[in-house]
Structure 1
Amino acid sequence: MITIINLAMQYGPKLLFLDVNLNLNTGNRYGLVGANGAGKSTFFKIITKEEEPSGGTINIVKNSRIGCLKQDQFLFENTSVINSVIAGRKELWQALQEKEKLLALDICDEETGYRLGELEQIIYDNDGYTAEIFAADLLVGLGIKEEYHYQPLGCLSGGYKLRVLLAQSLFNNPDILLLDEPTNHLDIISIYWLENYLKQKFKGVLVFISHDMMFLNNVATSILDIDYGEIRQYTGNYNKFIIEKQLISEQKLNEANYLEKKIAGMQMFVDKFRAGTRSRQAQSREKQIEKIELPDIQKSSRISPYFHFKQKRPSGKLVLKVEQIAKNYAEQKVLSKVNFTIQREDKVIIIGPNGIGKSTLLKIILGKIAVDIGSYEWGYEAQISYFAQDHHELLNENISVIDWLSKQVEDKLINSLRNVLGQVLFRQDEANKNILNLSGGEGARLLLAKIILEEGNILVLDEPTNHLDIEAKETLKKALVNYPGTLILVTHDRDFASHIASRVIALTNKGIVDFKGTYQEYLIRYGNDYLDSNWVLANK
């Protein structure tokens, strides 16, 4: 389906990849992985012909339909949700729009009638009369209720708009499907639905970028790894890829060490007997040394950020007291009679079914949403740092990274800001990048830089891993484990929950469960695994 021959991509002196040769075949699902900036999104743009490669060619079977998840929801702000999905099949969408315009003109001449007939055929050929049913099935599967299907896309939040765009990319039944971080903003049920849809119903070539290890393991049949200036294919899921890549690296290193020792021994012989009776043997070994080729061990492009959270001073022993908090949106009850206290150095994860009010609870205790009933009180010397799930709300100024950070933490010297930005991988000129142009991962790392500099004694984090790559997730997890202050964390990441939590607060429709212990101990005691899709589906 896609044949890639000697592909190369370079921006100035920066080489992304060189001499890439791949065959991407129908029925296979390729997980594309690599460090931030390695060239994953660029690879997509080359396939869709949005960018020209520096060298080589990509051959795609003629008349293949390409579906691509794009972040251009603003094009459809005033279009109904269901029509935004149907717009994914361009020929059908254009025919439906033209038909609507012609009918609105109320002209009954021969030319208009002939054109309406042509449009009807196009609509029929593109399954136009069942389009709304298929679009609705996609939307429901991705967690968008039917009551929103005929409302403008603009009425949805950013996360739900991206779900609509995901449905749009699936609607066209493409031969080639390119998905960039498709699980961002999906709840666990929608992720499970998408996994099954891609494995059971999609029959074309799938190439997807994801930092979700569980999704990579469940969906990928092969991994395309961008590293060392190449794109190498590994058969199997992400776990198998990690083992195989590590094995190859170790074999290359062992081979290099063996050959270096061999060369050193031969060189000692040459140096010792170069001018003596054994000079001919020395010359022979010198020629042998020249013929030995050491394996090419390049430096990996994967770079991990460095997160280290300190506190200026500890908080009081009692950190937070929540009493009888309740919150309704219109007639929908979100929170009811929520009570708990949090002590200094607690590491609390808040879990529960989708829509139960986890993010709402965080916003209430931070004073961002008014409570209907009840109260909360922070303890002595509480210094709070907050990571919002939709962090683009904070990064909406026309301002550089360094200037934005300077406004957030005004008491810090410019050198301190640059040092921390370097730690989270904003190097040199990247500190001058406009924050409006930041990727999701860059935005998340910038907010974490702010939190590092604030040195608060309480971290309130709402889904901090959504946009982070695998390397960043791993270093953030270790930093939170080692953080000496108090942590309140909402996460859907089982790995985070399992390694970090010393306490679990589960929000349920019957009240809260406040368990003082690890996530594994909570599961043994209660068995309510809100981070496992099979359990969630079985208990809907």
Structure 2
Amino acid sequence: MATVNLCMNPPGTRKIARPDRGRSAPLGRVPGSRCVERPLAPTIGAARDRRGGRGSAAVGVGLLRWIGAADGGSAHGVLHTHTMITATSLSMHFGGQTLFTGADLQLEPGQRYGIVGANGAGKSTLLRILAGQEAPSAGEVVRPRHARLGVLEQDHFRYEDVPILQLVMMGNHQLWEAMVERERVLATEPFDDTRYSQLEDVVLRFDGYRLESRAAKILEGLGIEAGLHPQPLRVLSGGFKLRALLAKTLAAEPDLLFLDEPTNHLDILAIKWLEGFLADHVGCVVVVSHDLRFLDAVCTHILDVDYERVTPYRGDYTSFVARKAEARLRLEAEIARREAEIADHKAFIARFSAKATKARQANSRQKRMEKIVIEELPRSSRRHPGFRFQARRPSGREVLKLEHIDRSFNDKAVLVDVSITVERGDRLAILGPNGIGKSTLLKIAMGLLPPDSGTITWGHETDVGYFPQDHAEALGDPAQSVLSCLWDVCHDEGMGAVLARLGAVLFTRDDADKPVGNLSGGEGARLLFARLSAQRPTVLVLDEPTNHLDLEGIEALAGALEAYDGTLIFVSHDRWFVDRLATRIVDIGPDGVDDYRGTYAEHLARSGTDHLDREAVVADARQRRRRSKKRRRQSR
């Protein structure tokens, strides 16, 4: 992987006078070139300027897709245009299922659009269509020719050996290519000062000399500490790898930013930082999220995918909910009014149609009645899945014993001397400040991560069902079908029963043939819960189980877990969910473990420490940073 020297004049090189910009034809758009809206392969040096012929050097098409004000943009990544995306008559169908039809949308620069709807309604599909990653069944999407797109990736495997900071700097593809080739030109004899000047101009247009500091700031905002930045991506856990990919997308400063569930692997501090970053972003943002507080903090508009339509609303999520409810009530009232009008006409006709003196009026009423159109009240796509959990048999009284667990990462202690004994029937919520090791403790308990020291003992008759944050791994081969994934754990029940289990968690017969790898986050979560239900474990260990679920799914899951007759151990940042379910709180802090038998509300009244309130967490983090700085000053 290339290493780029970010110094203005690298050691051992001469200062190069840049040519007059007015004569630098290659810095304009290559005439006749097409806009390529997906990331390009490296193309620097491959193109020629058609106006200059063979003797004219040119910057590659990859760099010239969008490089500045000459083509309607500005030097730092803002495309000046009145409309960023125009979607006309969009429709999307999968097999016999209609997601939405006739969607007309106009997305403006500087605005932030939240796509909401039930799991499987088509939120992620709409985002991919708007981003140009998927074709609609009908309709078209038009984007400005030179708009730069940023789409949050999920595939971190191809970057495993890339240094984390470098990965983020690669987000702006054009700038990174220019910086890499510029270093190559500097190291090559004879020195090509014309080519160097062209590349230097691209670096300056994208403010490339601040790229490293911007990338580092974004990483730290997302909770990846500076000491990790030179390390390869593989040193991070799965959730933090996805944070690095998010940082890469943000660092590109795109005109159009598309984020699908960006908060799923973020803690409260990182979510608050992201909210601020997006609020300051000058481009157009389109985001899919089930985090209602995040949508309220970020969005200027809501795109509601429901009733097989896409309906835009101005304002945040809270105002959208109120306005949608009002619109539904108005529609219901209008339907009721028209039905009453028809009933009145029918009564008049039945009473007077036989009377000669009233026959003309009755005939007139008949015609008026026939003209009244009653809209069918559309059926919402929001449905409650039927989760159900039942233990196969009672476990022993002592379910799990963790004794003196220690665990460090990169010489930083995460868990120190943690001891917990879980008893049958506990509904135990593990809480604590960000980065304290809550998910790490669950992985250690499940045998997925070894402790540095300590012992883990599972009790008698404990069959454990585990829901990890990254549930894709738990679902197995991404190429297998939804039906096959569930069949593996309950094939003895017969095909009809297995299909019924899928139907209970809102999968249709057509969905049963979908590859697991094609499922949305919410669909994957529902399938994993269906597997856990079929396994009938005596203990459920759940790591952030609400992350991918919509409101209906969260409510259904909470109800099913309340009725579960086994033992529950879980980590969640959802305050409502924790408050409803937990009967025991294990609060892990820097000074040890506070084990309290009672609800979260009771624990909060007793301790005063609220790890699930965003403002409280941010205030606490600021206070800890101030104390840390004060200690460092005093130690000098």
Tell me, yes or no, whether TM beats 0.5: yes
Structure index of larger Rg = 2
| Contact kept in structure 2, 1:189 and 1:536, CA below 8 Å | yes
Q: What's the CA shift for 1:308?
A: 1.3
Code of the residue aligned with 1:223 in structure 2: it is: I
Residue 102 of structure 2 corresponds to 19
* Equivalent residue for 1:471, pick from 552, 556, 570: 552
Is structure 2 residue 478 aligned with structure 1 residue 403? no
Q: Distance in 2 between matches of 1:63 and 1:443?
A: 36
Deviates more, 1:269-278 or 1:462-471: 269-278
The alignment's TM-score, normalised by the length of structure 2, stands at 0.79
Residue 628 of structure 2 corresponds to none
Q: Distance in 2 between matches of 1:134 and 1:342?
A: 45
The alignment's TM-score, normalised by the length of structure 1, stands at 0.92
Residue 220 of structure 1 corresponds to 299
Residue 99 of structure 1 corresponds to 182
Q: Distance in 2 between matches of 1:238 and 1:156?
A: 33
Q: What's the CA shift for 1:420?
A: 1.0
Per-residue Cα deviation, 1:370-402 (whole angstroms, up to 9, x for no partner): 444444444443332111222222234243232
Code of the residue aligned with 1:306 in structure 2: it is: G
Residue 207 of structure 2 corresponds to 127
Residue 520 of structure 2 corresponds to 439
Q: What's the CA shift for 1:123?
A: 1.2
Residue 455 of structure 1 corresponds to 536
Per-residue Cα deviation, 1:457-514 (whole angstroms, up to 9, x for no partner): 3211111122223332222122222323221111111221122112211011111111
Is structure 2 residue 346 aligned with structure 1 residue 256? no
* Equivalent residue for 1:389, pick from 448, 451, 469: 469
Structure 1: runs of 5 or more not aligned: none
Q: Distance in 1 between matches of 2:481 and 2:137?
A: 30
Is structure 2 residue 256 aligned with structure 1 residue 173? no
Per-residue Cα deviation, 1:374-433 (whole angstroms, up to 9, x for no partner): 444444433321112222222342432322323334544333222111212222132232
Residue 289 of structure 2 corresponds to 210
Q: What's the CA shift for 1:326?
A: 3.3
Q: Secondary structure at the match of 1:129?
A: helix
Residue 69 of structure 1 corresponds to 152
Per-residue Cα deviation, 1:309-338 (whole angstroms, up to 9, x for no partner): 122333344433443333345643332332
Per-residue Cα deviation, 1:223-250 (whole angstroms, up to 9, x for no partner): 1101122221222222222222122212
| Contact kept in structure 1, 2:389 and 2:532, CA below 8 Å | yes
Residue 244 of structure 1 corresponds to 323
Distance 1:19 1:494, change over 3 A: same
Residue 86 of structure 2 corresponds to 4
Distance 1:392 1:60, change over 3 A: closer
Deviates more, 1:134-143 or 1:390-399: 390-399
Q: What's the CA shift for 1:103?
A: 4.2
Q: Distance in 1 between matches of 2:461 and 2:134?
A: 53
1:71-470 aligned at under 5 Å gives the runs: 71-104=154-187, 106-108=188-190, 112-199=192-279, 201-277=280-356, 278-329=358-409, 331-397=411-477, 398-409=479-490, 411-470=492-551
| Contact kept in structure 2, 1:85 and 1:167, CA below 8 Å | yes
Q: Distance in 1 between matches of 2:250 and 2:379?
A: 38
Q: Secondary structure at the match of 1:539?
A: helix
| Contact kept in structure 2, 1:349 and 1:488, CA below 8 Å | yes
Q: Distance in 2 between matches of 1:255 and 1:71?
A: 46
Per-residue Cα deviation, 1:59-81 (whole angstroms, up to 9, x for no partner): 44453333222224344333322
Distance 1:409 1:325, change over 3 A: farther
Distance 1:240 1:404, change over 3 A: same
Distance 1:164 1:341, change over 3 A: closer
Q: Secondary structure at the match of 2:547?
A: coil
Q: Secondary structure at the match of 1:478?
A: helix
Q: Distance in 1 between matches of 2:411 and 2:219?
A: 24
Code of the residue aligned with 1:334 in structure 2: it is: V
Code of the residue aligned with 1:287 in structure 2: it is: K
Q: Distance in 2 between matches of 1:304 and 1:431?
A: 19
Residue correspondences, number: 536
Distance 1:7 1:536, change over 3 A: same
Deviates more, 1:319-328 or 1:119-128: 319-328
Q: Distance in 2 between matches of 1:367 and 1:60?
A: 49
Distance 1:426 1:54, change over 3 A: closer
Per-residue Cα deviation, 1:200-223 (whole angstroms, up to 9, x for no partner): x21222221101112112212221
Per-residue Cα deviation, 1:286-320 (whole angstroms, up to 9, x for no partner): 11211222244211222332211122333344433
Distance 1:370 1:124, change over 3 A: closer
Distance 1:114 1:83, change over 3 A: same
Distance 1:117 1:305, change over 3 A: same
Q: Distance in 1 between matches of 2:252 and 2:531?
A: 42
Q: Secondary structure at the match of 1:130?
A: helix
Code of the residue aligned with 1:327 in structure 2: it is: R
Residue 33 of structure 1 corresponds to 116
Deviates more, 1:129-138 or 1:236-245: 236-245
| Contact kept in structure 2, 1:5 and 1:19, CA below 8 Å | no
Q: What's the CA shift for 1:521?
A: 1.5
Q: Distance in 2 between matches of 1:82 and 1:373?
A: 32
Distance 1:337 1:49, change over 3 A: closer
Distance 1:534 1:439, change over 3 A: same
1:472-487 aligned at under 5 Å gives the runs: 472-487=553-568
Code of the residue aligned with 1:188 in structure 2: it is: I
Per-residue Cα deviation, 1:338-367 (whole angstroms, up to 9, x for no partner): 233333322111011223221222233333
Q: What's the CA shift for 1:55?
A: 4.5
What RMSD over aligned residues (CA atoms) do the two structures have, in Å? 2.4
- Percent of counterpart pairs with the same letter? 44
